[in-house]
Structure 1
């Protein structure tokens, strides 16, 4: 009689042990980082079309900010000229800019400024991933016209 009792005890212990909760295994995956907000962020231009953009020592950083309030104002620095205008956000990550007004100072990098303003005005969509903003334009909102990284606004 002791063998069936021993068998029942071992079986019960094994079944209960298999139901015990266990600590989740550690993973090497990092949690997905939340995207930086589109509005109210100081976006520093890093790429225009297929060309990398660097800020020369004697120039100001090229950037874009979109107001966090309902005014939908856009502003930024195109090199030595500042610009301002309005933007419209619609469904499906659609983004467009009104014609942008800028100051008209003569600059050595005026061609880059013109390309930057044209890229903004040609924007039809955007993609936001982490701290990177990509503006897309023609054809059909699939071509990256400008790429930005979240930065820190100068004091």
Structure 2
């Protein structure tokens, strides 16, 4: 079985790689791809900047989750994960997921009322449900972390 030490190291490596790839997407790929699409489809030209802003914002939400995860890993390494310091990073994850959820709900409503084909609304619905599950899972995990933090501080007070 992989030890916690190796898992934390490997996760940190992949967090850095993922963050780097997201920066490339955020600054080059997504704006360039959206610009190309609007050049090829002039009827979509008014959507270029709103779509670019939405795409960059959603990538920013993922980056917030990655930074918060890095900070939580630091607390794990220092054996301080069950302290109040960890709660603010979990809250950052919950807020980032909540912001992304709001954007996807808005896109689902906009596309759902304007689409001719059910494919894109169904895809947006699937992603929205997935983000909902992830957000609710994080709320439950935050409650468990809060309980564990309280129990640990109570145990330290007794000892």
> What range describes the TM-score normalised by the shorter chain of this pair?
under 0.3
Higher share of residues assigned helix: 2
- Report the TM-score, using the length of structure 2 for normalisation: 0.27
- Report the TM-score, using the length of structure 1 for normalisation: 0.27
Higher share of residues assigned strand: 1
Larger radius of gyration: 1
